[in-house]
Amino acid sequence: MSMELYSRAFFGDYFAEALLSLHDDRVPNIRLRLCRLLPQVRSSVRSTDKALRVLLEKSLHTLYANEKDRDVIKECEKVYCCASYNKLLL
């Protein structure tokens, strides 16, 4: 919702890091939703914000590497394989 209400710069400055920190949440549905939001988050991150892009990549990698829930793993694999994820790579 905040991605639709605020500018990309505002979202990147104030919401993106907090959102990406949810990769280690205890609730699998939170991690699942985060995984589904990652392509949208990437499109909201400014191309000049390399630190946030690296954080985005690390969050997905950590989420996938440590995940035990099969639905979250499946969604992470979709994000890794889909065309919109290719834009995540630096």
Q: How far apart are CA 77 and CA 72, in angstroms?
A: 9
Domain boundaries, the chain: 2-88
CA dihedral 81, 82, 84, 87 (to 10 degrees): 20
Sign of the Cα torsion 41, 19, 60, 37 reads: negative
> Do the beta carbons of residue 28 and residue 72 sit within 8 Å?
yes
pTM reported for the whole predicted model? 0.76
pLDDT along the chain (90 residues), means of 10: 66 83 93 89 76 86 90 88 55
